Amino acid sequence: MQERDLSFQEFLELPIAGQHMMQYVGLPIYYHLVNAGYAARLEDKLAGWLFVRGRGPLLYVDTLAVHPDFRRRGLGRVLLTFAETQARRLGRAWLGLTVTSANTPAVQLYESLGFERAHFQIYVRKSTPQGEVSSVARRLPGPRAWRLSQRLTRREHEQDGRFPLDVVRQFAHFEGHTWIGRFWVIRHQSQLVGIIRERLSEGVHKLVVAADSEHWGTPLIVDAMQSVIANQASAFVQVRFTSAAHHQAAHAACLDIGFKEQSADRMQMFKALDPRTDDSI
């Protein structure tokens, strides 16, 4: 695959040239105006599309699409190898992407190329009115709540230690929307030990929970969750813990209050890039 800069006129014509690909890309072309885009052609036809953007140590594969007529010919592997080459050229230490968890062929391809799965498990249950529940969590509005949420999220990732904190932070930047919703703080002996971000999405009541490691899976955090979801009108409740270690620590407690474990719809994957030269890929 050859890299070539586009003229301004060619750039303006990209949406026209790529209209038939948009149904496979999954995002409108204007979403990618600030990204670096690469097209793969086979048999003089547009066969695949790759958009990437970088921040800090991470090069993020924002979109990778292969036209159905050219699938099972190794093009996805070629595009990802090209993205890895670009990451090395730019001095990025990590390559990251997001994939639909149910897309087993894609997940297997990424794992064969050295990607690791990040935390992607959640707990779900039907929402049931609970009557009076003592409120362990306290609502905190405004920007301060978001800043506290970011601080506790960073702390939990540090305590989990699976991936470097700066990589996780940059990935969260690309995913975005971490400020949306209501925030509930959890205190123990006047100290902030946890926070819950609550939002309603497509009829599902979603909670994202972050806490200090000494409180993972404890009644304090579980009771706070219960107080936040009490008497909600949505049909289902979904709980996502910030890290895999927190998720595992809370496993028994969540099952005890009626939750079931399942995979999230989407999954983050990372690949650490060792300091090889481009020619060694």
Pick from 211, 226, 254: nearest CA to 133: 226
pLDDT(84) > 90 = yes
- Its pTM stands at 0.76
CA 109 to chain centre: 18
Task: Please state, for a pLDDT cut of 70, what percent of the chain lies above it.
Answer: 78
Cβ burial of 279 (10 Å; 0-12, 13-18, 19+) is exposed
Q: Between 101 and 274, whose confidence is greater? A: 101
pLDDT(175) > 60 = no
The structural domains of the chain, ordered by start, are 8-120+269-280 (3.40.630.30), 121-263 (3.40.630.30)
Identify the pLDDT of residue 278.
43
Q: Between 13 and 157, whose confidence is greater? A: 157
Q: Between 129 and 1, whose confidence is greater? A: 129
Identify the pLDDT of residue 279.
39
What tens digit of pLDDT does each residue of 239-263 get? Answer: 999 999 999 999 999 999 999 999 9
Calculate Rg over the CA atoms of the chain: 21
Interval 100-105 mean pLDDT: 91
